[in-house]
Amino acid sequence: MQETWDNAGMNVTPDDLFLFHGDGAIRATLRTIDWTVSPLGAAQDWPAELVTALDLALHARHPVLLLWGPRAVVFYNDACAALLGERHPAALGQPLRAAWPAAWARAGDAVHAALAGTATALPDASLDALCDCLCDAAGQGAGAPSAAAAAPVRGRSGAVLGIQVSFEAPRRADASPAERRLAFQLALADRLRDLSTPEEVVATASEMLGRELGVSRVLYCEIEDDGDTFFVRRDWAAPGIPSVAGIRQRLEEFGPEVAAGMRAGRQLVVPDVEADPQAAGHGASYAAIGVRAHVALPLLKAGRLRVAFAMHSPVPRPWQDGDVQLAQEVAERTWAAVQAVRAEAEARDAQARLSAVFDSLPVGVAVVDADGHYLMCNQDMQRFTPTRTMPSRDDGRIGRWRAWHEDGTPVARHDFPGARSLRGERVVPGIDMLYTEDDGSRHWTRVAAVPVRDADGNVKGLVSVVTDIDAMKRTEAALRVSQERYRALFDEMDAAFCIVELLFDEHGKPFDYRHIETNPRFEEHTGVKDAQGRTVKELLPNVEPFWLETYAGIVRSGESVRIEHYSPELGRWFDVNAFRLGRPDERLVAVMFRDTTARKQGEADMQRLAIGASEENRRKSEFLAVLAHELRNPLAPIRTGLELMRMRGDSPETVARVREMIDRQTTQMTHLISDLLDIARVTSGKIEIRKQAVDLNTIVSDAVETCLPAIEGARHALSVQLVPEPLALQADPTRIAQVVGNLLTNAAKYTPPGGRIRLSVTRDDGAALIAVTDSGIGIPAESLASVFDMFSQVGRNMGHSQGGLGIGLALVRQLVGLHGGTINVASEGAGRGSTFTVRLPLDSGAIPATWPAAARPAPVRSSRRLRILVADDNTDAAQSLAGLLGAYGHEVRMAHDGARAVELAESFLPEVAFLDIGMPGMTGYEVARRLRLIEGLARITIVAVTGWGTDEDRARSAQAGFDRHFTKPISPAAVNMLLDGVE
């Protein structure tokens, strides 16, 4: 902090420096010296401490010598010039070594050590040697001094910058006591004037008084708060007399009367302690400090004993009144000087603290007088106040600066906060102003001012405070841009956005949240109106706890969350991205989300389509494999039968049996191909339904007759229940017979041998019901919905494959639908049988007609006789292959299921086994594994004979233990080749 504007940048010459103005020979000499070539340099560059010390010396009436800087440059006043004799004026401004060689020889080392900066204090011995040297040297001139005292001149840091030596004027032998006391008082006042600490004041006053009166010791004692204990802060003692500085004693130790008198403020003058009754019994206390005679001068302040000034003598001494009076005056002057330097020290400390605070403030601060001149300002203020006075122009210009209001108008001088304060406005709040420089630079400040008034309320000045808000303004501008961008994004973004505040109970559990802010898309995505400012439970009383716990977790952890969740309250799917805003105690969560219901529904639809397509593809693939299998099955016995006829064409029985078998297989293939063509026509909408008036009972009876051989072949018990009267309806008799036949055939296939099948026809409210119930393998609940789907075969998945393409029931449903009817299925589950029910509309006006019935369709020896087992659930296939092998001369046994094949093998011990894969109950894979375990069949050759012919099928049969894999229909040549290789 600085109290006035400094002179930096001013061209100061000796004529300009106030030191050089005024009367006196020394000032005149100072003006003639070219200081630019001196050790101290140009006068305008002299430090303030030198200027102050030299000014005090020039004003002193007694001789004063000043040594300055590392080279001890000599300065002195007019009174000292006479002591220097012929050394004046050449010594002025010269180093002590050159100006006064004799003095340098005796005290140069001490002076150099102090002034070279190697010490911060001067030892007393060095000061005494310097004073003695200077007194002796000065004695060569006129009017030699009687004594000298030296004191250091320190800078702000405490370092010694110079030494000041004060000389006592010589005593005149003819001077009166009053003149001598006056001269002493003047010398004392002059010495005390420049001292800065209580210790220096006490030491100087004690020494001067002791030397003046010739006593052995002078003490300055401070009385502590108890009014009895005194502390010797500093004393002066003559050579050979011990110092008592620092001791602490009680007044009572020197006698109660002495203590009482001191507290009452009475002077204590004792010429001889041993003869003084007040000291009786306390002689040891006096003897301990070497006192025989003494004077004690109490100083009472505000009625209380504060200080005692004392003089000691080691021998009895009759004290003169003048000496006591002088000591009393010195005591009072010392007290006043001590209080003064203490006050000055406190003021300096306060000023230093104020300066530290002033300069450490993060704002510019200035104290301005009533005329607008700056008395004090800190460094920050100087950046904004390039002149020494308040603005004086109306265009806002202050030196190189111009000041502008926020609206862009210049700040007039009467609008500045300082000017308004000087007009008496009580407090002027901060005003934001933009400062611009001529070079184009800009800076924002906030200026405030407070008037300073005297006791009468008159404005004596002001305190101005300037805050640098340039960074804040830039931040505000950036924040405005950011907020505008945020608001634009907030309002225009496609996603919904809201900021919510979580509400917790006293246990820290979330119970609700409030919508602090919502964007326009919030309502669009949620369907909730006027949400801002309201809690979620006000809007959705049954809100899921999931949302409360999720947002509370974000508040606690600070981790963002990305989730997709269904809200049953809103009936919508949401894709949510949530994150915490601010500190945990603010409990704010930002939520950005989208309504993804349409997308989720689309995904579900796509997934259903994909699953459906996948299932359809699977069924088609399975259908193609089954189709190949079903086509190969009838082809196998046909081919084998033809070979048999070639070999035994001369046997009428063989030829007749083979022809009958070929007729059956051809009929089966015809039905299979017919079903394929029918389903193709139905799915493409090209099937032709030739409706006519028919009797349902007749159609059902004919269908039963057609299916009866298959039913009886499986040893099933069939019961048929028809209504006694005709059931007339408009229908295609061929297609309805196909429906009934497919249902009966299906029941026969999927009912184990010896099962029960019941067919019933009933009338029900204008409709005819055809129900086919079996005791077969049943249908699992999960398969009921798909049993009428294309290529669906429940039995295959349950290990009960009976052939077929899985299109029969699909065709039935389509044909029934084309007749305006319906079909459904019921089953209590696997192994519980099933019931298929067809509902067809009746037509009472129809006249039944007759309809035609369906028509029917039509070898090489081995080198060694082998035992061969043939196992196939297709009887014709088994018989034809067995006949062929028998024609080759082999011994053959047949089985039509897996269990029977294993049973025959245990007794027959075949060398070769031909096994169908898809046999009911026990598959060919299981039969092959069991044959390998029978004793005596270690070298059996096992051949797979199947309609399944993919690479996967071949790999699976090999893994099950088959040696060869033949795909139906098998080649007789391949069979012969295989058998020829059997060992």
Whether pLDDT at 281 is above 80: no
796, 887: one domain: no
What number is the average pLDDT over the span 530-549? 90
Tokens of 836: 């298929």
Residue-level pLDDT at 743: 92
**Residue 779 counted as domain residue:** yes
pLDDT value for 111: 81
Amino acid in position 361: L
CA-based Rg of the chain, rounded to a whole angstrom? 66
Contact 751, 777 (CB under 8 A): yes
* Encoded amino acid at 379, one letter: Q
What pLDDT does residue 851 have? 44
Residues 532, 641, single domain; the answer is no
Please state the φ and ψ torsions of residue 865, each to the nearest 5 degrees. -80, 125
- Both 205 and 116 in one domain: the answer is no
Q: What is the pLDDT of residue 980?
A: 87
Continuous segment of H or E residues that includes residue 646: helix 597-647
Among 576, 594, 612, residue at a domain's last position:
594
Q: Helix and strand tally (H, E) in the chain? A: 28, 34
* Whether residue 617 sits in one domain with residue 518: no
What is the per-residue burial (b if ≥16 Cβ within 10 Å, else e) of 783-796?
Answer: bbeebbbbbbbbbb
Average pLDDT estimate for 569-587: 88
What is the distance between the alpha carbons of residues 753 and 738, in angstroms, rounded to a whole number? 23
Type of residue found at 739: V
Mean predicted confidence (pLDDT) in 350-369: 81
Does the pLDDT of residue 530 top 70, yes or no? yes
**At which residue do the structure tokens 């069991």 appear?**
930
Same domain, 332 and 468: no
Q: Is residue 268 part of a domain?
A: no
Indicate the residue type of 49: E
Of the residues 119, 138, 170, the one at which a domain ends: 170
Cα-to-chain-centroid distance, residue 79: 79
Of residues 118, 123, 93, the one with CA closest to residue 107: 123
Distance CA(487)–CA(481), nearest Å, equals: 10
pLDDT score, position 799:
45
pLDDT reading at 794 higher than 90: no
Go through 914-931 and write b for each residue having 16 or more CB atoms within 10 A of its CB, e for each that does not.
bbbbbbbebbbbbbbebb
CATH number of the domain enclosing 716? 3.30.565.10
Residue 1, pLDDT above cutoff 70: no
Give the residue ranges of DSSP H helices in 540-577: 545-557
Distance CA 749, CA 741 (A): 12
| pLDDT at res. 869 | 96
Pick from 878, 900, 899, 887: which is nearest to 970 by CA? 878
83/206 same-domain check: no
pLDDT tens digits for range 76-114: 988 888 777 788 888 999 998 888 887 888 778 878 877
Higher-scoring residue by pLDDT: 859, 761? 761
CB 179 within 8 A of CB 199: no
Examine the pLDDT at 862 and tell me if it is beyond 80: no
- Number of domains into which the chain is organized: 6
Q: Which residues, 6+ apart, have CB-to-CB distance to 971 below 8 Å?
A: 639
What 3-state DSSP class applies to 727?
Answer: coil
pTM of this structure: 0.36
Q: pLDDT band for 495, please (50, 70, 90 cuts).
A: confident
Average of per-residue pLDDT values in the chain: 81
Which pLDDT band holds residue 142 (cuts at 50, 70, 90)? very low
Report the alpha-carbon distance of residue 904 to residue 871 in Å, rounded.
Answer: 10
Rounded to the nearest 5°, which phi and psi values hold at 298?
-75, 145
Q: How far apart are CA 120 and CA 452, in angstroms?
A: 41
pLDDT digits (tens, 9 = 90+) for 880-896: 888 889 888 899 999 99
Residues 6+ apart with CB under 8 A from 1: 354, 355, 358, 359, 376, 377, 378
Backbone angles phi, psi at 958, to 5 degrees: -65, -40
Which residues, 6+ apart, have CB-to-CB distance to 260 below 8 Å? none
- Strands 834-841 and 822-826 come out as antiparallel
95 domain-assigned: yes
Strands (E), 902-950: 912-915, 941-946
Question: Is 10 domain-assigned?
Answer: no
CB 388 within 8 A of CB 373: yes
CATH of the domain at 930: 3.40.50.2300
* pLDDT (tens digit per residue) in 190-228: 888 778 888 889 999 989 998 888 888 999 888 888 888
What single-letter DSSP state applies at residue 76? E
- Does residue 117 sit in the same domain as residue 162? yes
| pLDDT bracket for residue 681 (50, 70, 90) | low
- Residue 609: count of CB within 10 angstroms of its CB: 10
pLDDT tens-digit series, residues 829-850 = 888 899 999 999 998 665 555 4
Q: Around 864, how many Cα atoms within 13 Å sit in the side-chain half-sphere?
A: 12
Cα separation of 874 and 630, whole Å? 11
Question: Which of 132, 261, 154, 167 lies closest to 200, judged by CA?
Answer: 154
Confidence of residue 712 (pLDDT cuts 50, 70, 90): confident
String of DSSP letters for 116-164? TTS-SS--HHHHHHHHHHHHHHHTTSSS--SEEEEEEEE-TTS-EEEEE
For the stretch 9-36, pLDDT in tens is 333 344 456 778 777 888 888 888 889 8
The CA distances from residue 915 to 426, 644, 901, in Å, are 118, 20, 9
Same domain, 436 and 548: no
pLDDT given at position 74:
93
The one-letter code for the residue type at 450 is V
Do 327 and 223 share a structural domain?
yes
Residue in 552, 549, 544, 553 with CA at minimum distance from that of residue 574: 544
Q: What is the CATH number of the domain that holds 120?
A: 3.30.450
Task: Assess whether 873 and 800 both reside in one domain.
Answer: no
pLDDT of residue 973: 78
Task: With beta carbons less than 8 A apart as the criterion, state whether 876 and 659 touch.
Answer: no
Token pair for residue 682?
Answer: 């139905």
Distances (CA, A) of 135 to 131, 204, 818, 960: 6, 18, 148, 135
- Give the chain's length: 983
Distance CA 43, CA 95 (A): 16
**Would you say 66 and 163 are in contact if contact means Cβ atoms under 8 Å apart?**
yes
What is the pLDDT, as a whole number, of residue 11?
Answer: 35
Cβ contacts of 565-570, under 8 Å, gap ≥ 24: 568/544, 569/540, 569/542, 569/543, 569/544, 570/526, 570/527, 570/528, 570/540
Q: Are 834 and 825 in contact (CB under 8 A)?
A: yes
Asked whether the beta carbons of 220 and 205 are under 8 A apart, the reply is: yes
Q: Rounded to an integer, what distance in angstroms lies between the CA atom of residue 726 and that of residue 524? A: 66
Cα within 13 Å of Cα(635), Cβ side: 16
- Domain membership of residue 482 (yes or no) is no
What's the CATH code of the domain at 196?
Answer: 3.30.450.40
Residues pairing with 73 in the sheet: 68, 95
What's 572-603 look like in SS3? EEEEEEEEEECCHHHCEEEEEEEECHHHHHHH
Q: Domain boundary residue among 542, 574, 594? A: 594
Tell me the average pLDDT across 292-317: 87
pLDDT-derived band at 619, boundaries 50, 70, 90: low
What's the burial of 713, exposed, middle or buried (CB within 10 Å: 0-12/13-18/19+)? exposed
Residue 3 located in a structural domain: no
Indicate the pairing of strand 229-237 with strand 217-223.
antiparallel
Task: Output the six-digit token pair for 897.
Answer: 């299921």
Q: What share of the chain is helix, strand, coil (3-state, %, to 5)?
A: 45, 25, 35
Could you tell me if 697 and 580 lie in one domain? no
CATH of the domain at 576: 3.30.450.20
Q: Is the pLDDT of residue 856 over 60?
A: no
For the cut 80, the answer to whether the pLDDT of residue 656 exceeds it is: yes
Q: Is residue 266 part of a domain?
A: no
More confident residue, 588 or 385: 588
Band of the pLDDT at 941, cuts 50, 70, 90?
A: very high
Asked whether residue 468 falls in the same domain as residue 425, the answer is yes
CB atoms within 10 A of CB 667: 15
Could you tell me the residue range of the domain that residue 704 belongs to?
Answer: 688-841
**Phi and psi based region of residue 313 (left: phi greater than 0; alpha: psi -120 to 50; beta: remaining):** beta
% of the chain surpassing 70 pLDDT: 85
In a domain, 301, yes or no: no
**Nearest CA-CA partner of 890 in 980, 784, 777:** 980
